[in-house]
Structure 1
Amino acid sequence: MESGRFITPTQGKETSRLPGMTTTTDVPASGVSLSERLRQDLAGLRESGLLISPRVLDAPQRARTRVDGREVVNLASNNYLGFADHPRLKERAAQYLQQWGVGAGAVRTIAGTLRIHEDFERQLADFKHTGSALVLHSGFSTNQGVLGGLLREGDLVVSDELNHASIIDGLRLTKATKKIYKHADPADLDRVLRENPSEGLKLVVTDGVFSMDGDVAPLDKLVEVARRYGAVTYVDDAHGSGVMGEAGRGTVHHFGFEYADDVIQVGTLSKAWGGVGGYAAGHPDLRELLINRARPYLFSTAQPPAVVGALAAALDEVQRDPSLMERLWDNTRFFKAELGRLGFDTLGSVTPITPVVFGEASAAFEASRRLFDLGIFAVGLGFPTVPRDLARIRNIVTAEHTRDDLEQALSAYQQVGRDLGVIA
């Protein structure tokens, strides 16, 4: 037989296989089978109460939608500005689809960079007030690509203890020395930097808005400490972009650092902006380095044209219509104030992310189920996503919610909170 050639049973007696491949009879039956591994792992998740079974939306992502066949007020999505089903975004997406097709057809570095990709990146850099911007495929992969492309052995990275999982995983891929500082604590950041001198690049990494508690990193103080030690500040603004700062330019803009070359901002385009993708923005040379070093960028096909069109329209729309940001924050202030009046603990959140604490995970999950029965879609979160005694329901208020939506949600919360003994 020719090397590597497959032979059917009718063509010869030798077993069909690739060079170096053994037949099943050559390998003794041992170890754990795939079926057994899957059964064991799923059983463990089920017994620990951590098995996830996502609810299914039967209608577009809106402030009111249909979930598992039920009409609900939606407090579970990241659709801050109501862009996920916005008519202007859909119109631009359809236009780009017709003009440019359904896909880019290649990775960006080979033949997948369409003119619209570069146009949008220039638009994004202008919007963010940065020297450059590069779009990747998700916020998660952006952290992997930027941290992996930027950090080397001998560098020092100091990360907030409550940073997002994508930052944690991205740092695991680097050979930099990794240290942790206490959550949102500039004094502890100063201590860690002082105790860990480095001749390499020093990077302070923080979320801009923390996704579980809804608090904001004190960037004014963190950047001051970082600069004292010659460190660069890296801000993951997934929940701040489109929410904080003028026209939603982000947490970096909110604190006045948008023109600073020693501040890198990354984030997602799938929350406030209604589409999908991630971005990195900052120093004028950052984009060129990432084009050459960021592995998710180098080995993934470029974003489809319809997505690019929708995102470009989103940046136009948030600047054209200031009422989007006004409604987002009016709704946020109203909802938080009323939850506080009812007696709920919202952990001092100051952003549209509004946690309502129920204590034990079982109570948070039961509250979520009861709220759903009352027409409110809000998801319970327990350990290990949040601390054991701080299980909560995370609510996200959007610009699209009406006062009637929020009052219906508050009425349901009052009933469920009293029934479960969380409020009087």
Structure 2
Amino acid sequence: MNFMKLCKEIGLLQKVPRLKTITQGRCYSEAEKNIIKQISAECDDIRSAGLWKNERVITTKQDSHVCVQNQEKMLLNFCANNYLGLSSHPEVVNAGKQALDDFGAGLSSVRFICGTQTIHKDLERRISEFHGREDSILYASCFDANAGIFETILSPEDAILSDELNHASIIDGIRLCKAQKYRYKHIDMKDLEDKLKESQNCRRRMITTDGVFSMDGDVAPLREICDLAEKYNAFVFIDECHATGFLGETGRGTDELLGVQNRVMLINSTLGKALGGAAGGYTTGPKPIIDLLRNRSRPYLFSNSLPPPVVGSALKAFEMLSSDSTLVEKIKSKTQRFRDQMTSAGFSIMGHNHPISPVFLEDAKVATTMADRLLEKGIYVIGFSYPVVPVGKARIRVQISASHSDDDIDFAVSAFIEVGKELGVI
């Protein structure tokens, strides 16, 4: 008996009726129609509250000047995480092309099966050297790195103490973890100390914080955090996505800026912002912890390896930063220029002299309207509102890049002043 005949006899090839279709798509059941109606109403509520987030479509490479679909002229881009201007830097792009030729488009595998190439190991070594750590492990994104670290090294016997304004990826990673959870008030060291006292019966205690908080541009008080960690026998983990490559004297990050490089045990960061802007994240720290992550971290074990072009581009970015700090100096001066002029004009600028320079506006509709008016004047920025930031704390998050010229900065400030006066902001 052949295979197809056998399948028919045992009922595996029963005829399945085709679903009816219409020109606009499939026909929905009554239950599905009700769900779609409910979701549509939710979307309408978001729009009416001024919180709807439209996606503008860029038709050029990511740079300080970009073209956006349906816009006639080039726009000055002040909302990218492209802090060093490396997303389209010729050397970084060419390194990605070379890796594409040498190692292919992708691995079609996770790392422990057949997804590790020499360039992956080279990049992990380069990251370790850059941060002055023993070992490093690559992930598809820093979101994945944050999803994989907490549940791997912390158990119900342990505790995690987290700043209340930590990034969503940290919050989600902590949710996966079975450790006892303590949330301390934003950069409030008294509250952190209270939580450390409460958790003294735990085996391991991790203090976790963003090095730089992405919505506010403020810097974590790492010296004080490390002091408390040492006093109460805890250890420190920082997310450096908005610091790696440009903060500190040589761009090593928040721990370099505040002189605590030898006191922070674990760092997670990204390749998708200052370091070429493509994709990828990593954890760097003591080798035994990295070894455990390679064997137990679910996002690492069950996700494809980083594509070779991304790895090649990131290697070039690290090479450039390790040999020259010119871009680090540039972004410092551009940031100072923007912040000084905007503050003098009467705007409220949040943060601690960081390239993230949020223009605080409170009202979501004002932030959206202002961003739209600035777009008309050639400035590409986005209004941030709930749920990205709390209700009543809307802002336009301006981000400075080393690739911006002084003229770019001055033009943007002039546009902000003009629109700010029109809307009664200043």
Common fold: TM-score over 0.5: yes
Q: Which runs of 5+ in 2 are unaligned?
A: 1-7, 19-28
1:19 paired residue number: none
Name the CA shift for 1:234/1:2 in 2 (closer, same or farther; >3 Å). farther
Q: Map 1:170-181; keep pairs closer than 5 Å.
A: 170-181=173-184
1:268 paired residue number: 270
1:20 paired residue number: none
Structure 2 distance, partners of 1:183, 1:413, is 29
- Identity over aligned pairs, percent: 38
Structure 2 distance, partners of 1:255, 1:348, is 16
Give the match's secondary structure for 2:284.
Answer: strand
Q: CA deviation at 1:83?
A: 0.6
Deviations 1:165-221 (A, max 9, x none): 001111111111111111112221111111222332101010000101101001010
Structure 2 distance, partners of 1:33, 1:5, is 34
Name the CA shift for 1:7/1:233 in 2 (closer, same or farther; >3 Å). same
Structure 2 distance, partners of 1:31, 1:83, is 46
Q: CA deviation at 1:5?
A: 2.0
Structure 2 distance, partners of 1:399, 1:204, is 32
Structure 2 distance, partners of 1:4, 1:401, is 67
2:14 paired residue number: 7
Structure 2 distance, partners of 1:37, 1:90, is 45
Does 1:90 pair with 2:90? no
Name the CA shift for 1:360/1:102 in 2 (closer, same or farther; >3 Å). same
Does 1:113 pair with 2:116? yes
Q: CA deviation at 1:267?
A: 1.2
Structure 1 distance, partners of 2:336, 2:257, is 18
Q: Map 1:8-407; keep pairs closer than 5 Å.
A: 8=15, 33=34, 35-68=36-69, 69=71, 70-260=73-263, 263-274=265-276, 275-407=278-410
Q: CA deviation at 1:149?
A: 1.4
CA RMSD of aligned residues (A): 1.8
Structure 1 distance, partners of 2:397, 2:78, is 8
- Normalized against structure 2, the TM-score is what? 0.91
Structure 2 distance, partners of 1:62, 1:313, is 18
Give the match's secondary structure for 1:248.
Answer: coil
> Which residue identity is paired with 2:266?
I
Name the CA shift for 1:195/1:71 in 2 (closer, same or farther; >3 Å). same
Asked if structure 2 preserves the Cα contact closer than 8 Å seen for 1:211 and 1:239, the reply is yes
Asked if structure 1 preserves the Cα contact closer than 8 Å seen for 2:251 and 2:325, the reply is no
Structure 2 distance, partners of 1:32, 1:232, is 51
Structure 1 distance, partners of 2:124, 2:169, is 22
Name the CA shift for 1:83/1:7 in 2 (closer, same or farther; >3 Å). same
- Normalized against structure 1, the TM-score is what? 0.92
Mean alpha-carbon deviation: is it higher for 61-70 or for 336-345? Answer: 61-70
Deviations 1:92-129 (A, max 9, x none): 11111101111012000111011110111011101110
Q: CA deviation at 1:57?
A: 0.7
Structure 2 distance, partners of 1:89, 1:64, is 18
Structure 1 distance, partners of 2:420, 2:51, is 23
Q: Which runs of 5+ in 1 are unaligned?
A: 10-14, 17-27
Give the match's secondary structure for 1:225.
Answer: helix
Asked if structure 1 preserves the Cα contact closer than 8 Å seen for 2:50 and 2:368, the reply is no
Asked if structure 2 preserves the Cα contact closer than 8 Å seen for 1:216 and 1:350, the reply is no
Structure 2 distance, partners of 1:3, 1:330, is 75
Structure 2 distance, partners of 1:300, 1:6, is 34
